[in-house]
Amino acid sequence: MKLTRAFFNEIRELIRAARATVAQGADLVQVHTNFEIGRRIVEQEQKGKERAAYGKAVIRALRGSVDVGIWQGLFRA
């Protein structure tokens, strides 16, 4: 069996395409996660009211209760 350069190029392209797809999927999961975090913050602060008066205190409380490394680059407080 002789393996050609074209064969290796096809394999390389399959791997590249798979990695790109995985990266896009991970981005989508991160967007969904951030949306859910925001939704839950709003629900917690509104407690059934139409509008909430929340701010930096919520973010500080979250930072204090969850691994600090998780929050890097997500919020400015």
Contact between 71 and 63 under an 8 Å Cβ cutoff? The reply is yes
> For residues 27 and 34, what is the distance between their CA atoms, to the nearest angstrom?
11
Residue pointed to by tokens 């680059």: 73
pTM of full prediction above 0.85: no
- Encode pLDDT of 22-54 as tens digits: 888 888 888 999 999 988 888 887 777 765 555
Length of the chain, in residues: 77
